[in-house]
Structure 1
Amino acid sequence: MSSLPVRPSLAARLRRMLERLSDGLVERDALARQVFLAALAGEHSLLIGPPGTAKSALARRLHRAFAEGGYFERLLTRFSVPEELFGPLSISALEQDRYERHTAGFLPEAHIAFIDEVFKANSAILNALLTLLNEREFDNGAGRMRCPLVSVIGATNAVPDDAVADAFFDRFLMRIVVSPVSAAGFGRLLQAAPDDQGAPFPEALLATERQALAQAAQAVTLPSPVMDCLRDLRSALAQMEIVVSDRRWVKMVALLKTAAATEGRSAVSCWDVSLLPVCIATEAEEQAQVAAWLASRLGVREAISPPRLTRIVEAFEAQLGAEQKANDLDYDADGRLRFSAGELAHEIGDAKGGAEALRMTYQRRRRYGAAHIDARTAQVSALLERIERYRREVLAQIDDLTQYLDQSLWMAPDFAVAAHTHLRDTVAAIDALRERAVSAREGFVALPRLPEGAGSVPEPVAHEAWPD
């Protein structure tokens, strides 16, 4: 994989920072990766889950991962007023007939922010947040101020169903379902050390480094195979009835480019697409459905997937079965076997019952010339060559996934296991189909042959087209 001129130590530093983010937070490794990547891409995360699941602790740690800038945190209620987020009104400005706020120490001047129970805010607050989150701007009096906001982490127990909430909800690129610690992790939870929320992060990112990373991400390319994968994903989402806005697709691609840039890659990998389920779906079940689809597609071209290859092999097996059962009987209009005197005497012998018995009992397997058999075996041999090329392609994808994992900061281990298992299962399926194709070729070779003459070349076995 080619590299960009990004600081060579960046990936190692980010890896250490990820370890610090999740240190002591039981079963929150994946959550830390997702929130940190969103922040590096300049995007926002929404954590959906019950209280007491380390959402605020992670937000405070994320703030310390950035060397410069302020942190803002607020718990909203249905009684919250704009002053709580955007600052109090300026008395001196009011005396001069200006409606302005003191924003120092409040959200408009924060770099990292955590807003708990974010959907409990009234429509006035939500509408102001829409512009701030998306455009990084805040209307303060008659002017609009630029905000240094890097990322907002929102938290909620549930997402309400209304138009204003939907627009606000779409501002969060990552929507992450957070569950309580599992039974397996409960013991570690009880033994975890208290979180030292004031401890500084070693090697925290400077603003200049964030800007350099953003420039590197813009230079990352989107290869054709990744484009094809995204097109297939979009079609699959339509079948799943999951709607993704055009704006969200653009932001997701920017996220993939950021992931590639952090690892020093000049192009997005198909494996990067595994990061998208939390950007696409809201419910945990839908996210799992999208992840399962990706695990079964990444690294395997759908056009030559085992199901399609199976249908091709079955076409040859069906043709072989038909030719093995074929005979050369020739009946007249009355259903009687047509033959000349003495023609079949050596095969019939002294059959009792005369012509009527002969009509009902005589059978002779069809014989095939060398031209026919050679044509059939050549076609199966060509199929076997394509199967072998496909097998090598999948094995190469397994190697590529292994190399990707060696340097990946962001891929979830569970997804890596699922993708690797699917690829190995695909190789096993290919091997089984190869054996069936070899058996079919042997069957064509063993067809009964004409005693003399090469016979004729048959039409090729009809099957689905095999793409290049």
Structure 2
Amino acid sequence: MKDTTASMSLPDRLRQIIATLKHGLVERDEAVRLVLLAALAGEHSLLIGPPGTAKSELARRLHRVFEEAPYFERLLTRFSVPEELFGPLSISALEQDRYERQTRGFLPEASIAFIDEVFKANSAILNALLTLLNEREFDNGAGRQRCPLVSVVGATNEVPDDEVAEAFFDRFLVRLTVAPVSNEGFMDLLSLPAALETPCIDAPLSEADRSALTKAADTVVMPAEVSELLAELRDFLSARDTAVSDRRWVKIVWLMKTAAASEGRAQVVLWDLCLLPACLASDAETQVEISDWLTTRLGVQAAFLPERVTRAVEAFEAQVMLEQRANDLDFDESGRLRFSPDVVTEDIAEGIAGAVGDAKGGAGATRMTYQRKRRYGQIHIDARTGQIDDLMQRLAAYRETLQACIASLAQFDAQALWMSRAFADAARTHLEGTGEALAQLEARLGQARRGFEALPRLDADPGTVPDPVRFD
């Protein structure tokens, strides 16, 4: 079985590994995927949640993914000392006036580590961990020891806001809120055996596998449209006073490239941005906000956002109503007609005569009124309908683009390793909803067009070209 699995492509092997990691864990699909992806990218994960939510079990399973990967696990308290993580002092080294630790079996020589209640450590431990997590080096005595660390999975009930903890918190690229099983999954939880065995991986990833994946990720292309959307997201977060370090943005790009390479792709695509909520926020509420922002922007061009097209439609509707109600006479502020030789024609004169009657003028004179719908030349009407036709053609073309985008999402989702079902469903629902909203707006544009076509016409005068309807 191991030989057969090892001969599979990397995406197929990873798909099988994910299925094995998830076995027996209820509602931990996203955590399994993102913790594994972070490890493949050489990054660290932080699980935030109450005790008893399978955080340690997830880390124990992760270390079996990697071949010959020493595992280290420790629960920290406010009384923990450096010896618990980094090893005891070497007596033989002390005899030679060297302050060194015996690190065998401890964190500096582990490949995968789980540190529970990681923020309860004192500042001395956290400062030492900063270098270990970021540079993969440990200050041991007078020298620095190179560490084989692949990934650390940290766990905590809450994240403190002091300066040292904030710097340490930033070292965890993936940060997931792990909640107790929902009511919907509770019955599945009850059906689990009391002693849940940690499953074995048939063909764990070797150092050569990891090296090949890293080389492939180095060649993955980052398209301009993805970079531009990241810039928009950065502005969105800045407006919300959500700080994201430059280092984190660089690591996020690497995570997306690793995701693409692990699926056999040569470039990052828009859908890879589904990984961002867990990398940019530490609390579930903010992650949901970022996810919602992404699902409303992925595959949707700003020029065709329904709210923007709605403004255009409303502008045309208002214009056609204005022109339908317009008349040819010019009234002054008091409501009296302004006389002008070029507008006092025979039919107007008859209307005025009927309105005046026997009035002799003065303060009690009957106010002269006259109503005649304004008439429009063909040039005016063609200009209005032509502007609408242009917008309708662009909307129709864009709705075809949306359909292609929905098909692209479905194709991506069918082979994706890292996209969550909830994100895929939300993105598809929004794309379909956008298409339906634009179709309704097209129908309203058609109604406005018919309104312009029905305007009263000048008999012979072709009219003039009006200023375009503005809606930007």
The interval holding the TM-score normalised by the smaller chain is: over 0.9
Distance in 1 separating the partners of 2:147 and 2:41: 16
Aligned to 2:439: 431
The letter for the 1-side match of 2:73 is: E
Distance in 2 separating the partners of 1:377 and 1:275: 45
1:450 paired residue among 442, 458, 465: 458
The letter for the 1-side match of 2:288 is: A
Aligned to 2:319: 319
The answer to whether the 8 A contact 1:74-1:116 is kept is yes
Are residue 362 (structure 1) and residue 366 (structure 2) matched?
no
Aligned to 2:77: 77
Structure 1 residue 33: deviation in Å? Answer: 0.6
The letter for the 2-side match of 1:195 is: L
In structure 1, list runs of 5 or more residues that go unmatched.
Answer: 1-6
The answer to whether the 8 A contact 2:115-2:152 is kept is yes
Instruction: Classify 1:19/1:452 alpha carbon distance in 2 versus 1 (closer, same or farther; 3 Å).
Output: same
TM-score w.r.t. length of structure 2:
0.93
TM-score w.r.t. length of structure 1:
0.94
The answer to whether the 8 A contact 2:312-2:471 is kept is yes
Are residue 167 (structure 1) and residue 175 (structure 2) matched?
no
Distance in 1 separating the partners of 2:295 and 2:468: 36
Are residue 200 (structure 1) and residue 208 (structure 2) matched?
no
Seq. identity, %: 60
The answer to whether the 8 A contact 1:42-1:150 is kept is yes
Aligned to 1:257: 257
The letter for the 2-side match of 1:413 is: R
After superposition, the CA RMSD in angstroms is 1.9
The letter for the 2-side match of 1:416 is: A
Q: Mean Cα displacement is larger for which, 52-61 or 93-102? A: 93-102
The answer to whether the 8 A contact 1:337-1:359 is kept is no
Distance in 2 separating the partners of 1:341 and 1:129: 92
The letter for the 1-side match of 2:348 is: L
The letter for the 2-side match of 1:388 is: A
The answer to whether the 8 A contact 1:45-1:175 is kept is yes
Distance in 1 separating the partners of 2:443 and 2:82: 70
Aligned to 2:266: 266
The answer to whether the 8 A contact 2:355-2:369 is kept is no
Distance in 2 separating the partners of 1:112 and 1:292: 33
The letter for the 2-side match of 1:373 is: I
Aligned to 2:357: 353
The answer to whether the 8 A contact 1:22-1:28 is kept is yes
Q: Mean Cα displacement is larger for which, 74-83 or 131-140? A: 74-83
Structure 1 residue 344: deviation in Å? Answer: 3.4
Pairing of 1:256-405 with structure 2 (within 5 A) = 256-331=256-331, 335-336=336-337, 338=339, 340=344, 342-344=346-348, 353-354=357-358, 359-405=367-413
Helix, strand or coil at the partner of 2:155: strand
Pairing of 1:99-248 with structure 2 (within 5 A) = 99-193=99-193, 194-197=195-198, 199-248=199-248
The answer to whether the 8 A contact 2:337-2:369 is kept is no
Helix, strand or coil at the partner of 1:77: coil
Distance in 2 separating the partners of 1:172 and 1:433: 45
Instruction: Classify 1:364/1:8 alpha carbon distance in 2 versus 1 (closer, same or farther; 3 Å).
Output: farther
After superposition, the C-alpha distances for 1:305-356 in whole angstroms (9 at most, x for unaligned) are: 1111111122211211111111001457982463758443666795573578
Aligned to 2:470: 462
Q: Mean Cα displacement is larger for which, 180-189 or 455-464? A: 455-464
Helix, strand or coil at the partner of 1:153: strand
Aligned to 2:417: 409
Instruction: Classify 1:341/1:166 alpha carbon distance in 2 versus 1 (closer, same or farther; 3 Å).
Output: closer
Instruction: Classify 1:212/1:361 alpha carbon distance in 2 versus 1 (closer, same or farther; 3 Å).
Output: same
Instruction: Classify 1:233/1:354 alpha carbon distance in 2 versus 1 (closer, same or farther; 3 Å).
Output: farther
The letter for the 2-side match of 1:196 is: E
Instruction: Classify 1:53/1:341 alpha carbon distance in 2 versus 1 (closer, same or farther; 3 Å).
Output: closer
Instruction: Classify 1:317/1:136 alpha carbon distance in 2 versus 1 (closer, same or farther; 3 Å).
Output: same
The answer to whether the 8 A contact 2:49-2:177 is kept is yes
Q: Mean Cα displacement is larger for which, 145-154 or 392-401? A: 392-401
Structure 1 residue 404: deviation in Å? Answer: 0.9
Instruction: Classify 1:123/1:344 alpha carbon distance in 2 versus 1 (closer, same or farther; 3 Å).
Output: closer
The letter for the 1-side match of 2:387 is: Q
The answer to whether the 8 A contact 1:260-1:267 is kept is yes
Helix, strand or coil at the partner of 1:416: helix
Distance in 1 separating the partners of 2:344 and 2:368: 17
In structure 2, list runs of 5 or more residues that go unmatched.
Answer: 1-6
> How many positions carry a matched residue from both structures?
457
Distance in 2 separating the partners of 1:130 and 1:16: 33
Helix, strand or coil at the partner of 1:397: helix
The letter for the 1-side match of 2:299 is: G
Helix, strand or coil at the partner of 1:344: helix
The answer to whether the 8 A contact 1:48-1:177 is kept is yes
Aligned to 1:88: 88
Structure 1 residue 395: deviation in Å? Answer: 1.5
The answer to whether the 8 A contact 1:130-1:168 is kept is yes
The answer to whether the 8 A contact 2:355-2:368 is kept is no
Instruction: Classify 1:245/1:125 alpha carbon distance in 2 versus 1 (closer, same or farther; 3 Å).
Output: same
The answer to whether the 8 A contact 1:217-1:258 is kept is yes
Structure 1 residue 359: deviation in Å? Answer: 4.8
Structure 1 residue 103: deviation in Å? Answer: 1.0
Distance in 2 separating the partners of 1:333 and 1:397: 55
Structure 1 residue 369: deviation in Å? Answer: 0.8
The answer to whether the 8 A contact 2:118-2:156 is kept is yes
Helix, strand or coil at the partner of 1:129: helix
Aligned to 2:29: 29
The answer to whether the 8 A contact 1:337-1:358 is kept is no
Aligned to 2:39: 39
After superposition, the C-alpha distances for 1:79-106 in whole angstroms (9 at most, x for unaligned) are: 1111111111111111111111111111
Distance in 1 separating the partners of 2:196 and 2:269: 36
The letter for the 2-side match of 1:161 is: D
Structure 1 residue 212: deviation in Å? Answer: 0.6
Instruction: Classify 1:62/1:342 alpha carbon distance in 2 versus 1 (closer, same or farther; 3 Å).
Output: closer
Distance in 2 separating the partners of 1:300 and 1:329: 46
Instruction: Classify 1:332/1:44 alpha carbon distance in 2 versus 1 (closer, same or farther; 3 Å).
Output: closer
Q: Mean Cα displacement is larger for which, 374-383 or 347-356? A: 347-356
